[in-house]
Structure 1
């Protein structure tokens, strides 16, 4: 690609995710955990624009509270941009403009989606044509959820969650997500609290390597929301509820209002409800909104990080 074509403003979009199933193994010697997850990308997107600049910078706005989003090298998108520049041998910089719609520190992978969008946007901006395999490799260095934000769709992740295999999901699954009206939860803090809970007699990790329940895969292949509702699980939920007990009331409200299942998304504190179809999801959204909660109707699976226009 010529320099003239490469030096334009590039717009990329990447989706948030839900963990339909999340099993967490015992803590390892390095402090990390092996996990097994069924991911689904959903129609709540992060928007990112990349344009040439002398240095590397980022500005962040959005429909969610972005006050806690760093604008320095702690920002995953900015780190992703620097990584692409090094990979391509670029000396110039880039300015990233991010508009966030995925709840911050909400367990839906918004920061990872930003990083995925930055990877594809900077690659396109600089005419790198790195390809999906190299972008996936770069993404895995930034965080376990970044490779899935690149891939999108539905996938099974094992290891640290970044060893991905696409999973067949028939049709569409409708969800209502309820962001938490308060401070988010730190993923390391939730994992640490889970480890503390597991030191007691009631919550212990399953022996052996984590794996996704076959019933989840069968439900996805059949496009059966009712069967999926019977199989969803999140090992981090107990820790998230312990740290934010008020989430229990939200779960109870949604389930009593007709949701097939409710769960904390990832490390929380966003709560996700599975509905039987789009109409049921809209009814649930209305009920939760009337109760004073912010409720968003989303669906999955959707594509991963992509250039827009």
Structure 2
């Protein structure tokens, strides 16, 4: 017997091309100015009808991901149910492709995918803008996982303005099996920056380079204010950056709160050479080539729910 239809949604991981950090605001969060780009590394979430809310996780570092109500995707489903008053339940099957606690917002991608998948499964019919408002309640990176592409984020990083980026950019990711705690990175940043600027800004030159589709220009303006804090907590990250600098990479920085390090290449051929060089240096647990920008959370295909 065919079980009730399920919904498969895919959402991208992100990298931060620029991450400027300011002082803590009245809401207790740091003011940020960042440029996000979604890349071709994804989280897949299949939502199928069930009693109550539950989830299971497979894929990259699945054993490190909670499968209870502390999981951001579970919280997303619960938030949508509460906001719409639906009594429907869901089982979320998450397949992870983005590093866990890697500075690429894999958990946020799960939450964005869960919001869209549950909305489609339950027929709650929220507009994308309404889903975005719920996404912002879940975390600063969740709204971007919904929209994807390239965007400027201010406030906590959740107030988004789409940004034009022509062409495709090729990135090399050097990933670690050990994650970094974002709160810990910000704690160290606070110690390193006792007199932070109240409202940071994104460099206009970076935006010009994105519009021009110029990887060399983008490379000149890659910046991450959290990088020194991440390196203090994980000194071996400097070895990863050094390995990129010894390769054909145009530039490399820590992504977000780390520990993933991203390098930009002039094109796909150079990216393969960069990846080979970084792998040979033995400084990362995994090295991948990805491209950006990528679409945000989107329906992949209707699927049948699993039955015993």
TM-score bracket for this pair, using the shorter chain length:
over 0.9
Residue deviations 1:66-120 (CA, integer Å, cap 9, x gap): 2221111110101111112223321121000000010000000000000000011
In structure 2, the partner of 1:67 is: 63
Contact map agreement 2:23 2:199 (CA 8 A) in 1:
no
Residue deviations 1:207-229 (CA, integer Å, cap 9, x gap): 34111000110010000000111
Q: Distance in 1 between matches of 2:25 and 2:151?
A: 24
Greater alpha carbon shift after TM alignment, 25-34 vs 239-248: 25-34
Residue deviations 1:143-185 (CA, integer Å, cap 9, x gap): 000000000000000011000000000001100001113x211
In structure 2, the partner of 1:193 is: 188
The reply to whether residue 180 of structure 1 matches residue 180 of structure 2 is no
* 3-state secondary structure, aligned to 1:303: coil
Relative distance call for 1:125 and 1:50 in structure 2 (3 A) is same
Question: What is the aligned counterpart of 1:234 among 218, 224, 228?
Answer: 224
In structure 1, the partner of 2:116 is: 120
Question: What is the aligned counterpart of 1:299 among 283, 291, 300?
Answer: 291
1:234: Cα distance to partner? 0.4
In structure 1, the partner of 2:247 is: 257
Contact map agreement 2:88 2:122 (CA 8 A) in 1:
no
* 3-state secondary structure, aligned to 1:67: helix
Q: CA RMSD in A?
A: 1.3
Q: Distance in 2 between matches of 1:85 and 1:198?
A: 41
Contact map agreement 2:31 2:198 (CA 8 A) in 1:
no
Contact map agreement 2:243 2:277 (CA 8 A) in 1:
no
In structure 2, the partner of 1:3 is: none
* 3-state secondary structure, aligned to 2:64: coil
1:30: Cα distance to partner? 4.5
With normalisation by structure 1, the TM-score equals 0.93
The reply to whether residue 169 of structure 1 matches residue 165 of structure 2 is yes
The reply to whether residue 8 of structure 1 matches residue 9 of structure 2 is no
1:283: Cα distance to partner? 1.4
Residue deviations 1:284-308 (CA, integer Å, cap 9, x gap): 1122223333111000001000010
Q: Distance in 2 between matches of 1:213 and 1:291?
A: 32
Q: Distance in 2 between matches of 1:60 and 1:67?
A: 8
* 3-state secondary structure, aligned to 2:54: strand
- Trace 1:116-155 onto structure 2 (pairs within 5 A): 116-155=112-151
1:7: Cα distance to partner? 4.6
Greater alpha carbon shift after TM alignment, 213-222 vs 288-297: 288-297
Greater alpha carbon shift after TM alignment, 28-37 vs 164-173: 28-37
* 3-state secondary structure, aligned to 2:221: coil
Structure 1's consecutive aligned runs of 4 or more residues displaced over 6 angstroms after TM superposition are: none
The reply to whether residue 32 of structure 1 matches residue 24 of structure 2 is no
- Trace 1:54-133 onto structure 2 (pairs within 5 A): 54-62=51-59, 64-133=60-129
Contact map agreement 2:103 2:258 (CA 8 A) in 1:
yes
Q: Distance in 1 between matches of 2:187 and 2:153?
A: 21
Alignment coverage as a number of residue pairs: 297
Q: Structure 1: which 5+ runs fail to align?
A: 1-5
Residue deviations 1:31-54 (CA, integer Å, cap 9, x gap): 320000000000000011000111
Q: Structure 2: which 5+ runs fail to align?
A: 302-308
